[in-house]
């Protein structure tokens, strides 16, 4: 049996789930995604990744700014859905929307709830130095990621994992998990487990000021912080050149032994070794604004640094 469903999602993370639903033969009555936004040099309106994928597959796409109006809620109810599948949609679902599908709304969330409820669970898990994370399918209710858990998959976080690599891995695992959840729902064997009231943490949205590297922190925590911000928005430092700050993103680095004033360049041998509050980081891949990613040696040929120079 297949379901008549609506898919509600916006970013790249959600696309594999929609693809899996189509491949499994479910009837996608409508795809909901956030409205197109201006982006790029020309600031032309760009549809979301989910919007683009759905349009390429001939699926009807709806992009309301909000679901709070009675007209939008009525239009959703008129779809006559068995279930709604929600993955990083980005809009709050009011109670009438949650109640409209016959079997409710299932959400795929990229953390081990109740840890890292909210907007940026993948980044926050890495930034906090967590050893594992996962994906969970939960039954949605009015609270923020508070519904009972239906299925879960635990995933170890590799020591060199970035937000980008973990994002891609969890997205693929999550797509399989959602298909399994819908199959169990059809069989009537999908059991729910209430979330614990203990261990609740919130994955708040990444703020721009968090991306600046604070060299006074120890190397181990900075390593986790930088990996959690890679590739987006990208952790950065600045160097003064001709009286102007030049912003440089760190794409790859590793903690190493070293001692000096926080931000001091200790060595340029095989990378750029920079002192932290405790220990040091060896920067091995960097990117200047308007340039592509570069290995440290290539970067230094076009943008020389000196031992003893301070990075801000």
Of 33, 31, 28, which Cα lies nearest the Cα of 82? Answer: 28
**Whole-Å CA distances, 157 to 101, 108, 142, 154, 230:** 35, 19, 30, 10, 15
Q: What pLDDT is attached to residue 57?
A: 98
In whole angstroms, what is the distance from residue 135 CA to residue 148 CA?
Answer: 14
**Beta-bridge mates of residue 136:** 109, 152
Give the E-state strand segments of the chain in sequence order.
4-9, 27-32, 37-39, 44-46, 61-62, 83-87, 105-109, 117-118, 132-139, 149-156, 202-203, 236-241, 244-256, 265-267, 272-275, 280-288, 294-295
Pairing mode of beta strands 202-203, 37-39? unpaired
Helix (H, G, I), strand (E, B) or coil at 166: helix
In whole angstroms, what is the distance from residue 97 CA to residue 263 CA?
Answer: 51
Assess contact for 256 and 275: CB atoms under 8 A: no
Of 62, 46, 56, 48, which Cα lies nearest the Cα of 6? Answer: 62
Q: What pLDDT is attached to residue 22?
A: 98
Q: What pLDDT is attached to residue 1?
A: 76
Please provide residue 72's backbone torsions phi and psi, each rounded to the nearest 5 degrees: -65, -40
Q: What pLDDT is attached to residue 290?
A: 87
Q: What pLDDT is attached to residue 77?
A: 98
DSSP string, 18-46: HHHHHHTT-EEEEEE-PPPEEETTTTEEE
Assess contact for 253 and 223: CB atoms under 8 A: yes
In whole angstroms, what is the distance from residue 174 CA to residue 17 CA?
Answer: 7
Name 120's Cβ contacts closer than 8 Å, sequence gap at least 6. Answer: 203, 204, 205, 206
Cα end-to-end distance, the chain, whole Å: 59
Residue ranges for the chain with pLDDT beneath 70: none
HSE (side-chain half, CA atoms, 13 Å) at 299: 25
Q: What is the torsional sign of CA 257, 216, 213, 125? A: positive
Q: What pLDDT is attached to residue 43?
A: 77
Q: What is the torsional sign of CA 214, 217, 219, 221? A: negative
Q: What pLDDT is attached to residue 25?
A: 97
In order of their start, the domains of the chain are: 4-202 (3.40.50.170), 208-302 (3.10.25.10)
For 2, other C-beta atoms within 10 Å of its C-beta total 13
Helix (H, G, I), strand (E, B) or coil at 178: helix
Q: What pLDDT is attached to residue 38?
A: 82
Based on the number of CB atoms within 10 Å of its own CB, is 201 exposed (0-12), middle (13-18) or buried (19 or more)? middle
Helix (H, G, I), strand (E, B) or coil at 230: coil
């Amino acid at each position: 049996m297949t379901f008549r469903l609506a898919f509600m999602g916006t970013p790249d993370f959600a696309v594999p789930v929609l693809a899996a639903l189509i491949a499994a033969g479910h009837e996608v009555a409508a795809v909901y995604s956030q409205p197109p936004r201006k982006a790029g040099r020309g600031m032309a309106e760009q549809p979301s990744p989910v919007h683009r994928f759905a349009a390429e597959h001939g699926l009807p796409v709806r992009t309301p700014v909000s679901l709070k109006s009675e007209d939008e809620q009525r239009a959703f109810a008129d779809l006559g859905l068995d279930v709604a599948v929600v993955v990083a949609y980005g809009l709050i679902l009011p109670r009438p929307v949650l109640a409209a599908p016959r079997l409710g709304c299932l959400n795929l969330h990229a953390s081990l709830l109740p840890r890292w409820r909210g907007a940026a669970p993948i980044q926050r898990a890495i930034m906090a130095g967590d050893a594992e994370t996962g994906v969970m399918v939960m039954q949605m209710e009015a609270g923020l990621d508070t519904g009972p858990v239906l299925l879960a998959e635990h995933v170890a976080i590799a020591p060199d994992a970035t937000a980008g690599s973990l994002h891609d891995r969890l997205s693929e695992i999550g797509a399989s998990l959602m298909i399994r959840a819908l199959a169990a729902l059809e069989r009537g064997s999908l059991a729910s487990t209430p979330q614990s009231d203990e261990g609740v943490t919130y994955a708040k949205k990444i703020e721009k000021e968090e991306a600046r590297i604070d060299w006074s922190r120890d190397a181990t925590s900075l390593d986790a912080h930088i990996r959690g911000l890679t590739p987006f928005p990208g952790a950065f430092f600045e160097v003064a050149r001709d009286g102007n700050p030049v912003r440089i993103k760190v794409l790859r680095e590793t903690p190493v032994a070293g001692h000096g004033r926080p931000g001091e360049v200790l060595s340029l041998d095989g990378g750029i070794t920079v002192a932290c509050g405790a220990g040091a980081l060896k920067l091995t891949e960097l990117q200047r604004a308007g340039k592509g990613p570069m290995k440290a040696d290539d970067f230094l040929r076009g943008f020389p640094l000196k031992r003893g120079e301070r990075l801000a």
